[in-house]
Chain A
């Protein structure tokens, strides 16, 4: 058994009311234009007026989510900060590239360049919490968060005195980002209400989303409601390889498929990865409740962070909201969750999350 990652606290800033978890899905937010943008939080609570004036949207979102997660955990300063992102702050990158063209590569503003770097959020959080420990950023598209968690798992298992790691992920949606990704069928050509995402499995692509999801991880249980026990990544698996991967993940934990109370399925409405979604759905036993989340978060490279936040929320509340139920099972209370995320290009990550 590998080192369990105890989820001491979590925070999500997403297109749903997740920042104030008490209002989660009250009401359910949706869109009709294929773009699910986050609901703004009170950024000024954690970021000074002098600093905030220079920050782009995603920088404020990421820092606020990270700082709120730290505050909720009761830890003054984490021992390490590890964050995953596919594209960092897209707005800053767009501003910098536009300036390069507009100003013919002369006298470019430094701020958007500095803050477009992938590790800006980590750096700010480290400065704000005076954390001088390990600080790492993983930029690996759809596996950015998963590699972040693996690194945290190895670090906490090494028994070097590290007890608390802030881990998380963020990715941003902009109109131009959506426009470009729509051209390559990452996002769907047609528009419809986002809640009907899974009625559109006959066309390629998904709906746009964004968010920042952070977790305070520890090798000590503390007040954690759940822990991640296994993290697995499969590069474009066949259906048979996916089934084998699930069985392997369950066996590592001494579980079989009937032990899974909730399957958190990160299906995304993309026709090219429908076979994987079908395999996941068909692999579930009748007692397993199947839930989905990308109709609420939209698709983005680190959307698995929203799914993991949702897992933690389910364990904390022991309630499965109707809005995320794809097929109702019978198992209660929630003891074991299998979380599987499917990316647009057909990769799969999975985690076994268990009640403490």
Chain B
């Protein structure tokens, strides 16, 4: 799980072009949207593309996606349970 979290944080930084950020700057449980990293709806689309491209996981239901993309930890849990790549 630790490995997934570390690589996921780096992928998020690269994918969303979070300039000047390091994986250690992102709290595993902090919300990605709103108060935490302050991501927006376009970022959520980018994260869904990230999951599909890097882990072979497609999120079909938007309501489900909101829960999965809540934090790095929830994303990592989802990846561990569903990854195809």
Q: Interface residues, chain A, CB within 8 Å of chain B?
A: 49-50, 53-54, 103, 106-111, 114
Contacts and interface: CB of A to CB of B under 8 A. Distances in A.
B46 A111 contact: yes
Nearest to B41: A110
B4 interface: no
Contacts of A110: 42, 45-46, 49
A124 to B, nearest CB: 13
Contacts of A109: 15, 46, 49
B18 interface: yes
A194 to B, nearest CB: 32
B24 interface: no
B53 A111 contact: no
Contacts of B49: 107-110
A53 B19 contact: yes
Interface of B: 15-19, 38, 40, 42, 45-46, 49, 52-53
24 contacts: A49-B19, A50-B38, A50-B40, A53-B17, A53-B18, A53-B19, A54-B17, A54-B42, A103-B53, A106-B52, A107-B49, A107-B52, A107-B53, A108-B49, A109-B15, A109-B46, A110-B42, A110-B45, A110-B46, A110-B49, A111-B42, A111-B45, A111-B46, A114-B42
A106 B52 CA distance: 9
Contacts of A54: 16-17, 42
Nearest to B21: A53
Given A106-B53, A108-B49, 6 more contacts: A50-B38, A54-B42, A106-B52, A107-B49, A111-B42, A111-B45
A114 B46 CA distance: 12
Contacts of A50: 38, 40
A54 B17 CA distance: 7
B20 to A, nearest CB: 9
